[in-house]
Amino acid sequence: MRIGPYVFDALPLVLAPMAAVSELPFRRICLELGADLAPTELLSAEGLWRLQARTLAYLRHDPACERPFVVQIFGARPESMAKAAEVALERGAGIVDINMGCPVSKVTKNGAGAALMNDPERAVAIVEAVRRALPESIPVTAKIRSGWDSASLNAASFAERIEQAGVAAIAVHGRTRAQAYSGTADWGAIAAVKRAVRVPVIGNGDVLCREDALRMVAETDCDAVMIGRGAMGNPWIFRECKGGPAPDRSERGVIVRRHLLEHVGHFGREEVKAVHAFRAQLACYARGLSGAAEFRREVMRIDDVASLLGAIDAFFSA
Ligand X SMILES: Cc1cc2nc3c(=O)[nH]c(=O)nc-3n(C[C@H](O)[C@H](O)[C@H](O)COP(=O)(O)O)c2cc1C
Residues of this chain that interact with ligand X (CB under 6 A) are 16-19, 21, 41-42, 72, 99, 101-102, 143, 173, 181, 204-207, 227-230
Residue nearest to ligand X (CB): 228
Respond yes or no: is residue 209 known to be catalytic.
Answer: no
Write the DSSP string, 42-58. EEEHHHHHTT-HHHHGG
Cβ proximity to ligand X: between 47 and 228 the closer is 228
What is the rounded (10 degree) CA torsion for 274, 25, 69, 200? -110
Least CB distance from residue 181 to ligand X, whole Å?
Answer: 6
Least CB distance from residue 183 to ligand X, whole Å?
Answer: 11
Cβ proximity to ligand X: between 228 and 253 the closer is 228
Least CB distance from residue 143 to ligand X, whole Å?
Answer: 5
Cβ proximity to ligand X: between 14 and 305 the closer is 14
Least CB distance from residue 203 to ligand X, whole Å?
Answer: 10
Of the candidates 30, 102, 222, 241, the residue annotated as catalytic is 102
Cβ proximity to ligand X: between 5 and 183 the closer is 183
Cβ proximity to ligand X: between 102 and 191 the closer is 102
Least CB distance from residue 318 to ligand X, whole Å?
Answer: 28
* Catalytic residue numbers, as ranges: 102
